[in-house]
C-alpha cells in the first residue's frame, strides 16, 4: 500500500516534521486506519503547483512590525492590499485596515487626564482619512493604527479549523487553503482581532497572507511596498538581510502586541501603542 | 474636496453603533446556527428522559419511553442539516471526517454524531424493538413487512434467552448513552465556550449550561408531543406519566436557571473588561429576547407554574395540570430557542474591540434565511410522524397499551 | 449447537461495525489529499498554489531598471522612502507591456498624505488647503523632488 518515498521529497527529520508524523499517527490510531496514501504516490503530486524558484519555506520566518508614530493615515496600504489580493471591494472585507483613534480633552473639572476615545475606520481607510468632525481644539491626542493578521504563535484560528484548511506555514505565515476550506466560519469567530472574513465569491475564509505570492518571489508585501511613512516594517527573522529593518526596529523601540492576555502570542509587534488600542 | 469625500464615503453603515472591526459588520452565523444547537439539545434532552425509564426505573414514564426515543431519533436525523446548509462549501463536508484536525472541537462533530446515532440511539431502539420487528414482519404485508424485515437485519431469534440479552444490552447502551448525550450537547456548548476571542461565548460554564438547557428543552418537547399525539389519536392522557415528566422538567429547569443565574452573577461580580459591552447588550439589543422571552417567559413563569404543581398537586385538578404542562412546555421550548438565539446572534452583535455594536439583518429567503430554518424546525416533526405511523402502532394483539410491555421490566 | 456461540444479534453488530470501519478506512485512503501532512496537518500543496498568484505591484527595483533617472532624482529628496507605486499605482502590467500607462498623480493624491489632519504625526509636512494655494500642488512642487520648484 505504501510506496517508498522518492528522495526528491524526503524531509529532514526536524521537530516540526516529527510533530506532523506524531499527529498523523495519532489520527491514524484514532480512526483505526493503518496507512494513508503515501505521499507522492498519487497523481496529485504531478500537478502540484511548484514554489517559486529556490524558495524553501523552512528557511524563513517572516514577520511584520508596525510603528504607530510613522503612520500618516494615507491608507495607501489598504487600497494596495485590496488591489493586489483581489479583496472584495465592499467595505466589510479587509485583510488590512487603518483605525483612527481620537482621544478627546477631558471636561473641565472632570478629574480625568484624558477624555473619551473615539475610534473609526471609514471604509477601512481605503479612501484616506479626511479630518474628522471633531474640532482640533477638542482633541487631546490622535493617531492611526494599522491592523492586519497578528501571525499568532498559538493562533486560535488554526486551532479551530476542523479540517486543517488554515495553518501556520513553516515560514510563519498563517494561510488559508482555498481549495480545502469548507467555509464553516469557525476560524473567523475564533480570531480575537477581527482579521478574517468569509469571501462572498469563493465562500471560503480569507485573511492576510503577508502577500505570500510576493514574499516567496523576493518582493515586499504590497502594503509595505506602498507605505510612504515607513510605518510597516517587514523582514525575515530567520535569515535577516544585512540592513534588515526589523532588527533595527526591535533594537530601537519598546514593542507591544495586541491583546496579549488572550495567550495567542501575536508575533506582529507594535511600537508607540496606546492603552486604548485593542 | 473634503466635503465631497465625506459625503462619498460609505462610512459606518447606519446600523453600526460605535466602532466595530470592519470585518465584523455583517453577522457570519445566522439562524441556521441558532437552530443547530436547539435541535441537538432537543435530541439530548429527549434521550435523557427515555433513560430515566431504563436506568433509573421511573415506571410512570413508561408510556412516553418509545415516543421519547423516536423523537430523539427524528431530531437527530435533522441535526446535521443546518450545519451542512450553512457551510460555504457543503460539497466538502466529508473533510472534517477524513482529515479531522484534532485540536478543533468542530472536527469532532462527525465522530460524536456517528457515535451517538449508531452506537447509542439506533442500537437502543433496535434492541428494544427487535421482538416487535420480528413479529410485525411476520404479521404485516407489503411494504410495511419489507421495512420491518429489513430492520431485523436478519436476526429472527426471539427465544427467551435472546430477549433477555436484548434487555441487558439495551440497558447497557442506555448507561453508555447518558454520558454520550451529555457529550453530544456538551460538545455543542464547547464549540461556543472554547472561543476565547468572544467574551460572551468563551466561558467554561457554557457546555454545562447547554447540557441542562438541552435537558429542559428535550423534556418539554416530549411533554408537548405526548399531549398532542394522545389528543390526535383520541387516547386518554396518562396523568401519572405527565406528572412525572412535569416533576423532572421542574428539576431540570431549576438546575438550568441556577446555572444561568450563576453565569450572570459571576460576570457581573468579576466585571472583566467586557462587562460594559455585555451589560448594554443585555439591556439593549437583547432586551426582548433575553430578559423578556428567555428569562421571564421561558424560565420564570414555568418555574412558578411547575413549582406550584409540585407543592399543591393534590389540590389542582387534572385538567388544569394538563393544560399547565402544555403551556409550560410551549413556553420552555420558545424560551430555550430564545436562549440559543441570544448566545449565537448575541455573541456576534458586539465588536471584539468592545467598542460598538452591529445589527442582525432579517433575511427571509436565501441560504441562511428564516424559511430554511423554519423548514428544518418542522422537518423532524414530519419524520416523527412517519416513525409514529410505523413504530408506535395504535392497536395491539393483547389490547393493552403497547409501551407497558418493556422487555426489560418483563425480564426482571 | 456449541454452548459458547456468539448470539446472532451481537454477531450482526460486530459485522456491521467492521463494515463501517472498513468503508471509512477505504474512504479515508482515497480522499486524503496526497500532500497532506508533509509540513503539518494541512495540504502542503496549498503553499505552492497560494504562492502562484500573480503579483500586481512590481516593486521599486523593477521600476528603476528602466526609469533610472527618476529613481536617482527621487532618492535625493524627502520622498526617497516612497515607492514609485505608492503614487503611480500597481505597475506589473506596465512592466510586462510599456504601452499600459500608469496613473499620473494629481493634487488629491498629494492631499491624501499632506492635508492637515490632527491625527497625523507632527513630523509630517501638512497643509491646510484654505491657507495654502488650493489644489494646485504641482504648480509649485515636483513630487519627485518636492523641495525644488519646477
Q: What is the pLDDT of residues A214-256, one digit of tens each?
A: 999 999 999 999 999 999 999 999 988 777 899 999 999 999 9
pLDDT, averaged across chain B: 90
Please report all neighbours of C, defined by 3+ CB atom pairs within 8 A: A, B
Comparing A44-48, A263-267, B100-104, B406-410, the range with the smallest average pLDDT is B406-410
- B92 touches C at CB < 8 Å: no
Read off the pLDDT of each residue in A3-22 and give the average, rounded to a whole number. Answer: 48
pLDDT computed for residue B281 by the predictor: 95
Q: Which of A278, A262, A229, A211 is nearest to A68 (CA)?
A: A229
What is the gyration radius of the CA atoms in chain C, in angstroms? 33
Q: Is A269 helix (H, G, I), strand (E, B) or coil?
A: strand
Q: Locate the chain A residue with the closest alpha carbon to B200.
A: A189
Q: Which of A263, A205, A81, A240 is nearest to B197 (CA)?
A: A263
Q: Please give the Cα distance from C138 to C110 (Å, whole number).
A: 9
Q: Please give the Cα distance from B18 to A82 (Å, whole number).
A: 25
C150 or A156, greater pLDDT: A156
Q: Please give the Cα distance from A187 to A165 (Å, whole number).
A: 10
The string of pLDDT tens digits covering residues C78-116 is 999 999 999 999 999 999 999 999 988 889 999 999 999
- ipTM associated with this complex: 0.90
Task: Work out how many CB contacts closer than 8 A connect A with B.
Answer: 153
Residue A162 has its nearest CB partner, among B13, B28, B104, at: B104
Q: B65 and A159 in contact (C-beta within 8 Å)?
A: no
C74 or B395, greater pLDDT: C74
Chain B residues 154-213 with a CB less than 8 Å from chain C: 154-155, 157, 162, 165-166, 169
Q: Please give the Cα distance from B251 to B307 (Å, whole number).
A: 9
Q: B152 and B133 in contact (C-beta within 8 Å)?
A: yes
Distance of CA A44 to the CA centre of its chain: 29
Q: A66 and A271 in contact (C-beta within 8 Å)?
A: yes
Q: Please give the Cα distance from C109 to B98 (Å, whole number).
A: 52
Contact C43 A40 (CB under 8 A): no
Residue A31 has its nearest CB partner, among C24, C86, C118, at: C24
Weakly modelled stretches of chain B, pLDDT under 70: 1-14, 395-412
In the 8-state DSSP scheme, what is residue A153?
T
Please report all neighbours of B, defined by 3+ CB atom pairs within 8 A: A, C
Contact A131 C50 (CB under 8 A): no
At how many degrees (to 10) do helices B31-54 and B318-344 cross? 140
Q: Is A67 helix (H, G, I), strand (E, B) or coil?
A: strand
Neighbouring residues of A33: CB distance < 8 A, sequence distance ≥ 6: C24, C25, C28, C29
Please measure the distance between the N-terminal and C-terminal CA atoms of chain A and give it in whole angstroms.
52
Q: Please give the Cα distance from A163 to A185 (Å, whole number).
A: 12
Does the pLDDT at position A45 exceed 90? Answer: no
Q: Locate the chain B residue with the closest alpha carbon to A99.
A: B21
Please report all neighbours of A, defined by 3+ CB atom pairs within 8 A: B, C
C-alpha distances in Å from residue A274, one per residue of A68, A142, A149, B374: 9, 10, 19, 47
Q: Bridge partners of C36?
A: C43
Q: B376 and B39 in contact (C-beta within 8 Å)?
A: yes
Contact C9 B130 (CB under 8 A): yes
Q: Please give the Cα distance from C51 to A161 (Å, whole number).
A: 21
Q: Name the phi and psi angles at A261, rounded to 5.
A: -70, -10
pLDDT computed for residue B192 by the predictor: 96
C148 or B132, greater pLDDT: B132
Chain B residues 180-219 with a CB less than 8 Å from chain A: 191, 194-198, 201
pLDDT computed for residue B292 by the predictor: 96
Neighbouring residues of A26: CB distance < 8 A, sequence distance ≥ 6: B102
B contacts of A181 (beta carbons < 8 Å): 88-89, 92
List of E strands, chain A: 62-67, 97-104, 117-120, 139-147, 166-168, 174-176, 197-198, 205-206, 232-236, 255-256, 269-271
- C28 touches B at CB < 8 Å: yes
Does the pLDDT at position A4 exceed 50? Answer: no
The string of pLDDT tens digits covering residues A66-122 is 999 999 999 999 999 999 999 999 999 999 999 999 999 999 999 999 999 999 999
Q: Locate the chain B residue with the closest alpha carbon to A87.
A: B23
Does the pLDDT at position A3 exceed 80? Answer: no
Give the gap in angstroms from C-alpha C62 to the nearest C-alpha of chain B.
33
Q: Please give the Cα distance from A182 to B88 (Å, whole number).
A: 6
C-alpha distances in Å from residue B262, one per residue of B162, B183, B249, B265, B267: 49, 22, 20, 5, 8
Q: B56 and B177 in contact (C-beta within 8 Å)?
A: no
pLDDT computed for residue B409 by the predictor: 40
- A132 touches B at CB < 8 Å: no
C52 or A43, greater pLDDT: C52
Question: Taking the complete model, does pTM exceed 0.80, yes or no?
Answer: yes
- A240 touches B at CB < 8 Å: no
Q: Which three cell numbers stand for residue B287?
A: 432586551
In the 8-state DSSP scheme, what is residue C44?
T
Sheet holding A255-256, edge to edge: A232-236, A62-67, A269-271, A255-256
Residue B99 has its nearest CB partner, among C13, C36, C135, at: C36
pLDDT computed for residue A54 by the predictor: 82
The string of pLDDT tens digits covering residues A131-169 is 888 999 999 999 999 999 999 999 999 999 999 999 999
pLDDT computed for residue B405 by the predictor: 42
The string of pLDDT tens digits covering residues C7-23 is 888 999 999 999 999 99
Give the gap in angstroms from C-alpha B192 to the nearest C-alpha of chain A.
9
Q: Is A230 helix (H, G, I), strand (E, B) or coil?
A: coil
Does the pLDDT at position C59 exceed 90? Answer: yes
| Long-range pairs for B369-372: beta carbons < 8 A, 24 or more residues apart | B369/B30, B369/B31, B370/B31, B372/B31, B372/B32, B372/B85
C contacts of A32 (beta carbons < 8 Å): 21, 24-25
Give the gap in angstroms from C-alpha B243 to the nearest C-alpha of chain C.
36
- The CB density around residue B51, as the number of other CB atoms within 10 Å, is 24
Q: Is A119 helix (H, G, I), strand (E, B) or coil?
A: strand
Q: Which three cell numbers stand for residue C133?
A: 494655494
Give the gap in angstroms from C-alpha A208 to the nearest C-alpha of chain C.
12
Q: Locate the chain A residue with the closest alpha carbon to B352.
A: A192
A contacts of B355 (beta carbons < 8 Å): 119, 278
What H or E segment, with its residue span, contains residue B356? strand B356-357
- B98 touches C at CB < 8 Å: yes
Does the pLDDT at position A53 exceed 90? Answer: no
Q: Please give the Cα distance from B412 to B403 (Å, whole number).
A: 16
Give the gap in angstroms from C-alpha B117 to the nearest C-alpha of chain C.
13
Residue B102 has its nearest CB partner, among A26, A156, A193, at: A26
C-alpha distances in Å from residue C120, one per residue of A128, B12, B69, C116: 12, 21, 66, 8
Alpha-helical regions (H) of B88-159: 95-98, 109-114, 123-139, 142-151
Walk me through the domains of chain A, giving residue ranges and CATH numbers.
Answer: 61-95+147-278 (3.30.70.20)
- The CB density around residue C98, as the number of other CB atoms within 10 Å, is 9
The b-or-e profile of B173-208 (16+ CB within 10 A means b, else e) is bbeebbebbbbbbbbbbbbbbbbbbbbbbbbeebbb
Q: Bridge partners of A29?
A: none
A contacts of B10 (beta carbons < 8 Å): 91, 122-123
C-alpha distances in Å from residue A141, one per residue of A40, A106, A134, A277, B275: 58, 11, 12, 13, 26
C-alpha distances in Å from residue B316, one per residue of B254, B320, B329, B332: 21, 7, 18, 21
A contacts of C113 (beta carbons < 8 Å): 72, 74, 228
Q: Please give the Cα distance from A177 to A165 (Å, whole number).
A: 5
Does the pLDDT at position A15 exceed 90? Answer: no
Does the pLDDT at position A33 exceed 90? Answer: no
pLDDT computed for residue A40 by the predictor: 40
Contact C119 A142 (CB under 8 A): yes
Task: Work out how many CB contacts closer than 8 A connect B with C.
Answer: 43
In percent, the amount of chain A with pLDDT more than 90 equals: 76
Amino acid at each position: 500500500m505504501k510506496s517508498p518515498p522518492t528522495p526528491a521529497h524526503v524531509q529532514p527529520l526536524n521537530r516540526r516534521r516529527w510533530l506532523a508524523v506524531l499527529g498523523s499517527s495519532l489520527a491514524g490510531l484514532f480512526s483505526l486506519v493503518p496507512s494513508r496514501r503515501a505521499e507522492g504516490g498519487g497523481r496529485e503530486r504531478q500537478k502540484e503547483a511548484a514554489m517559486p524558484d529556490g524558495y524553501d519555506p523552512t528557511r524563513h520566518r517572516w514577520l511584520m512590525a508596525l510603528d504607530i508614530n510613522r503612520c500618516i493615515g494615507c491608507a495607501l496600504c489598504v487600497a494596495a492590499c485590496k488591489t493586489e489580493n483581489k479583496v472584495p471591494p465592499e467595505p466589510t472585507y479587509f485583510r488590512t485596515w487603518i483605525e483612527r483613534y481620537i482621544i478627546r480633552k477631558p471636561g473641565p473639572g472632570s478629574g480625568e487626564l484624558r477624555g473619551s476615545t473615539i475610534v473609526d475606520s471609514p471604509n477601512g481607510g481605503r479612501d484616506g482619512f479626511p479630518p474628522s468632525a471633531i474640532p482640533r481644539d477638542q482633541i487631546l491626542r490622535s493617531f492611526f493604527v494599522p491592523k492586519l493578521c497578528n501571525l499568532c504563535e498559538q493562533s486560535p484560528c488554526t486551532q479551530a479549523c476542523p479540517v486543517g484548511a488554515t495553518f501556520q506555514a513553516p515560514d510563519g505565515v498563517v494561510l488559508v487553503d482555498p481549495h480545502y476550506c469548507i467555509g464553516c466560519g469557525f476560524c473567523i469567530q475564533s480570531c480575537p482581532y477581527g482579521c478574517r472574513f468569509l469571501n462572498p465569491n469563493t465562500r471560503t475564509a480569507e485573511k492576510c497572507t503577508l502577500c505570500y505570492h510576493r514574499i516567496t518571489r523576493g518582493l515586499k508585501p504590497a502594503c509595505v511596498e506602498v507605505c510612504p511613512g515607513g510605518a510597516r516594517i517587514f523582514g525575515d527573522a530567520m535569515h535577516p538581510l544585512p540592513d534588515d529593518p526589523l532588527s533595527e526596529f526591535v533594537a530601537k523601540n519598546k514593542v507591544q502586541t495586541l491583546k496579549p492576555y488572550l495567550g495567542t502570542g501575536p508575533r506582529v509587534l507594535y511600537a508607540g501603542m496606546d492603552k486604548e488600542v485593542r | 474636496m473634503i466635503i465631497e469625500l465625506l459625503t462619498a464615503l460609505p462610512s459606518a453603515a447606519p446600523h453600526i453603533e460605535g466602532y466595530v472591526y470592519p470585518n465584523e459588520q455583517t453577522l457570519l452565523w445566522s439562524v441556521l446556527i441558532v437552530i443547530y444547537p436547539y435541535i441537538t439539545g432537543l435530541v439530548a434532552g429527549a434521550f435523557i428522559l427515555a433513560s430515566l425509564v431504563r436506568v433509573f426505573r421511573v415506571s410512570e414514564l413508561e408510556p412516553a419511553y418509545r415516543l421519547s426515543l423516536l423523537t430523539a431519533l427524528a431530531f437527530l436525523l435533522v441535526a446535521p442539516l443546518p450545519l451542512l446548509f450553512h457551510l460555504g462549501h457543503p460539497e466538502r463536508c466529508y473533510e472534517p471526517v477524513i482529515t479531522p484536525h484534532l485540536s478543533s472541537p468542530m472536527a469532532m462533530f462527525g465522530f460524536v454524531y456517528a457515535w451517538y446515532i449508531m452506537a447509542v440511539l439506533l442500537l437502543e431502539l433496535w434492541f428494544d424493538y427487535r421482538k416487535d420487528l420480528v413479529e410485525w414482519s411476520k404479521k404485516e404485508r407489503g411494504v410495511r413487512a419489507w421495512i420491518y424485515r429489513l430492520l431485523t437485519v436478519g436476526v429472527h431469534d426471539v427465544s427467551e434467552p435472546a430477549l433477555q440479552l436484548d434487555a441487558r444490552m439495551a440497558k447497557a447502551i442506555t448507561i453508555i448513552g447518558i454520558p454520550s448525550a451529555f457529550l453530544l450537547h456538551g460538545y455543542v456548548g464547547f464549540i461556543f465556550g472554547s472561543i476565547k476571542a468572544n467574551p460572551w461565548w468563551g466561558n467554561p460554564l457554557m457546555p454545562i449550561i447547554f447540557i441542562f438547557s438541552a435537558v429542559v428543552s428535550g423534556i418539554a418537547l416530549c411533554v408537548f408531543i405526548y399531549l398532542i399525539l394522545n389528543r390526535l389519536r383520541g387516547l386518554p392522557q396518562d396523568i401519572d406519566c405527565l406528572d412525572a415528566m412535569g416533576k423532572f422538567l421542574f428539576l431540570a429547569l431549576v438546575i438550568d436557571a441556577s446555572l444561568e443565574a450563576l453565569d450572570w452573577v459571576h460576570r457581573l461580580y468579576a466585571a472583566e473588561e467586557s462587562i460594559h459591552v455585555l451589560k448594554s447588550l443585555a439591556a439593549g439589543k437583547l432586551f426582548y429576547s433575553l430578559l423578556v422571552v428567555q428569562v421571564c417567559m421561558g424560565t420564570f413563569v414555568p418555574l412558578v407554574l411547575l413549582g406550584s404543581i409540585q407543592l399543591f398537586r393534590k389540590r389542582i385538578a387534572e385538567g388544569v395540570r394538563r393544560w399547565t404542562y402544555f403551556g409550560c412546555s410551549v413556553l420552555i421550548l420558545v424560551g430555550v430557542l430564545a436562549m440559543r438565539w441570544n448566545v449565537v446572534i448575541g455573541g456576534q452583535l458586539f465588536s471584539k474591540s468592545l467598542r460598538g455594536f452591529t445589527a442582525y439583518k432579517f433575511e427571509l429567503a436565501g441560504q441562511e434565511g428564516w424559511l430554511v430554518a423554519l423548514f428544518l424546525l418542522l422537518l423532524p416533526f414530519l419524520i416523527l410522524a412517519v416513525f409514529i405511523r410505523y413504530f408506535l402502532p395504535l392497536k395491539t394483539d393483547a389490547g393493552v397499551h403497547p409501551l407497558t410491555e418493556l422487555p426489560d421490566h418483563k425480564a426482571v | 449447537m456449541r454452548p459458547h456461540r456468539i448470539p446472532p444479534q451481537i454477531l450482526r453488530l460486530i459485522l456491521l461495525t467492521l463494515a463501517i470501519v472498513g468503508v471509512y478506512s477505504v474512504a479515508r485512503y482515497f480522499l486524503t489529499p496526497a500532500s497532506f501532512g508533509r509540513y503539518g496537518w494541512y495540504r502542503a500543496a496549498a503553499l505552492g498554489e497560494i504562492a502562484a498568484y500573480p503579483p500586481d505591484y512590481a516593486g521599486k527595483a523593477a521600476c528603476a531598471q528602466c526609469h533610472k533617472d527618476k529613481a536617482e532624482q527621487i532618492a535625493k529628496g524627502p520622498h526617497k522612502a516612497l515607492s514609485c507605486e505608492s503614487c503611480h499605482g500597481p505597475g506589473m502590467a506596465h512592466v510586462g507591456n510599456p504601452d499600459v500607462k500608469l496613473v499620473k498623480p494629481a493634487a488629491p493624491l498629494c492631499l491624501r498624505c499632506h492635508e492637515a489632519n490632527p491625527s497625523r504625526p507632527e513630523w509630517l509636512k501638512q497643509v491646510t488647503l484654505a491657507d495654502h494655494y488650493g489644489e494646485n500642488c504641482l504648480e509649485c512642487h515636483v513630487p519627485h523632488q518636492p523641495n525644488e520648484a519646477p
